Amino acid sequence: MEARLREKLEALALEHHNLAAAMATPEIAMDPAVYRKYAQKYADLSDLIQSFGLYRSEEVGLHEAERILRTDSDAEVLELAQEEYERLKESLRDREEELKLLLVPGDPLDEKNTIVEIRAGTGGEEAGLFAADLFRMYSRFAEVKGWKVEVMNSNPTALGGFKEVSFQLSGDRVYSLMKWEGGVHRVQRVPDTEAQGRIHTSAVTVAVLPEAEEVDIHIDPNDLIIDVYRSSGPGGQSVNTTDSAVRITHKPSGMVVTCQDEKSQHKNKAQALRVLRARLLDVKIQEEADARSETRRSQVRSGDRSEKIRTYNFPENRVTDHRIHLSLYKLREVLEGDLHDLFDALNVADRAARLASQE
């Protein structure tokens, strides 16, 4: 291991030790806000320090194998020492690469709660049905993770799908996982609406927005046009007899946000402002990314089925993520919320790409 890398790891190991000692003091332990800050930093370093500890342990083993190879004369002992030397040498190479990946700084937005917007794209009613499938998939995943799901706005179809549905996910490091889902999701299957058994291809767009606090995005009330109206369900039947639905238009950006799922106009207005703030933060993030790089790190916004990040193929029981060329033959499990293999692979690929960009 090169000296600069080791020096950095040793410094972080010392910081990790000092954080543990600080959290044990009465001053820190009795201040919830400060303790939480220390505990988060300690947790962020834990995987790295654990891996570094294993590296140092294997390094000691390697040095011992080298000593035996230099000083022992027994043929059987030398053979065993050589095998151990080769094994540890390879393991240390792999662990050094792992340490480099763990040193790549995380996304500062990873801790944020997340607003997800799902919209039916190409495919008509079948796209709406698949939008409902994706909403259910994310809800199941949230249940496994212990996250809270709060529907903010929905526009259901007559057959039980969604033209669009937006919801907030709240919990531990929600954005760190859900950020991979922004883009076009394509489904290939025989729809319930197809009488002749032909496979159809439909597309659904997913936008993933980190929740924005007022300190992140300030909205001038004078920039808003707020309309209220009666919410309605599929087929136009009234589901509310008061003007509780809210439409907010942000004049500078032209963004329009509607919320109607709450019975209270006040709650719908608050929901709409949260969505608007999240969308404006997303635009700000994209502009900053554009300023740093010609390669825009963006989410696909259109419903064009050619701009896809993932395909769900029912006849083959296959889910393919096109960004990392990964196919899993467990479509049913994925739609039941088992997204761990996809998210793990995407996280590894992202860290590797960021590591390469730093070299």
More confident call, 130 vs 295: 130
What is the pLDDT, as a whole number, of residue 162? 94
Residue 205 region by backbone torsions, left for phi larger than 0, else alpha for psi between -120 and 50, else beta: beta
Judgement on whether residues 268 and 152 belong to the same structural domain of the protein: yes
Judgement on whether residues 85 and 164 belong to the same structural domain of the protein: no
CB 210 within 8 A of CB 175: yes
Whole-number percent of the chain with pLDDT over 90: 52
| Average pLDDT over the chain, rounded to an integer | 86
- The tally of domains found in the chain comes to 2
339 belongs to a structural domain: yes
192 belongs to a structural domain: yes
Most trustworthy range by pLDDT among 197-201, 250-254, 262-266, 353-357: 250-254
Judgement on whether residues 62 and 118 belong to the same structural domain of the protein: no
108 belongs to a structural domain: no
Residue 309 has pLDDT above 90, yes or no: yes
What is the pLDDT, as a whole number, of residue 235? 42
C-alpha distances in Å from residue 207, one per residue of 167, 175, 199, 292 = 11, 12, 26, 22
Whole-structure pTM over 0.85, yes or no? no
Q: pLDDT band for position 310 (50/70/90)?
A: very high
Q: Which of 76, 103, 130 is the last residue of a domain?
A: 103
- Span 288-316, average pLDDT: 61
β-pairing, 245-250 with 224-229?
antiparallel
172 belongs to a structural domain: yes
What is the pLDDT, as a whole number, of residue 206? 94
Most trustworthy range by pLDDT among 109-118, 125-134, 189-198, 228-237: 125-134
290 belongs to a structural domain: yes
109 belongs to a structural domain: no
User: Residue 320: which H helix or E strand, with range?
Assistant: strand 318-321
* Ramachandran angles phi, psi of 304, nearest 5°: -65, 125
Burial call 150-181: b when 16+ CB within 10 Å, e when fewer:
eebbbbbbeeebbbbbbbbbeeeebbbbbbbb
Q: Which of 57, 74, 103 is the last residue of a domain?
A: 103
Partner residues linked to 187 by β-bridges: 202, 312
Residue 87 has pLDDT above 60, yes or no: yes
Residue 302 has pLDDT above 50, yes or no: no
**Domain around 82:** 3-103
